[in-house]
Amino acid sequence: MRISRTIEAPAEVVWQIFTDTESWPRWGPSVSGVDAPARHITEGMRGRIETALGPVVKFEITRCDPLPHACWEWKVLGIPATTHHVEALGEDRCRASFTLPAIALPYALVCKRALREIERLALEQHREKRSHRR
């Protein structure tokens, strides 16, 4: 299952939000903290996520392909989890999406909320960058 949202901001802005571990708690309803060796993910990176429900779980980034075909995948507790995609639809427009494995289908509502928060953050950042250019 794939959950997606069109966002009126450049793909680069959305990709930066997706890959910045410090921003995950701002848009991920199930994430309250991240312990990672670097701020931005890379393939093979391992870390821990503090979940909104309390438990701390280990993760590993198993794939991280940059733009223009931006996609990253991970395992949480050793189990394949959501795949994150960003596709440019023009200079200031993109589609952000999550692909869910069958085991995670109930997580679709969380992903929909996350995409709304990513859109909010992306629009804020995009407006800020445009105002600095003037």
Cα separation, 92 vs 80, whole angstroms: 31
pLDDT of residue 124: 95
- Give the confidence band of 133 by pLDDT, cuts at 50, 70, 90: low
Return the domain boundaries, the chain.
2-133
pLDDT of residue 134: 61
The matching CATH number, chosen from 3.30.530.20, 3.30.1330.60, 3.40.50.720, 3.40.50.300, for 2-133 is 3.30.530.20
Tens-digit pLDDT profile for residues 16-39: 999 999 999 999 999 999 999 999
pLDDT of residue 129: 77
Tens-digit pLDDT profile for residues 44-90: 999 999 998 889 999 999 999 999 889 999 999 999 999 999 999 99
Tens-digit pLDDT profile for residues 87-124: 999 999 999 999 998 888 889 999 999 999 999 999 99
